[in-house]
Amino acid sequence: MKKVITYGTFDLLHWGHINILRRAKEMGDYLVVAISTDEFNRLKHKEAYHNYENRKMILEAIRYVDEVIPENEWEQKIQDVQNHGIDLFVMGDDWEGEFDFLKDYCEVVYLRRTEGISTSQIKNELSEN
């Protein structure tokens, strides 16, 4: 069985999120999604609209997602890959090169982002109205 992992906040779920989850799942048999906890978001000076528990519940309802785990810190990725038996790490291409250090532990793939949508764009448009 090929296990895949991806990371993100996954706030204000949109078709770009679904695309990356679908594409990640197509690359393996089992998809683990690590989502930023509320505490970790605060450390990154980010604020999600939905709290961690609600974002987790939403992701668990998506058919492409097999398991949701918390992301508590930047440094946990190697441990997650090892602890979960991950074969493939997947992220959006706006992170290209940032996680190449994981190539010692698993395959790393950067997927092209869905054009025309982002959580930042949604938040900006909502704040303008």
Give dist(CA 129, CA 125) in Å, integer: 7
Instruction: Tell me the β-bridge partners of 34.
Output: 7, 69
Question: Does 122 score more than 70 pLDDT?
Answer: no
46, 56, 103, 123: the catalytic one is 46
Assign 66 to helix, strand or coil.
Answer: coil
Looking up tokens 């706030």 gives 11
Calculate mean pLDDT across residues 102-128. 79
97: left (phi over 0), alpha (psi -120 to 50) or beta: left
- Convert the pLDDT of each residue in 51-98 to its tens digit: 999 999 999 999 999 999 999 999 999 999 999 999 999 999 999 999
- Convert the pLDDT of each residue in 9-25 to its tens digit: 998 887 789 999 999 99
Report whether 24 contacts 6 (CB < 8 A).
yes
3, 25, 44, 103: the catalytic one is 44
Give dist(CA 55, CA 50) in Å, integer: 6
Q: Is residue 3 annotated as part of the catalytic site, yes or no?
A: no
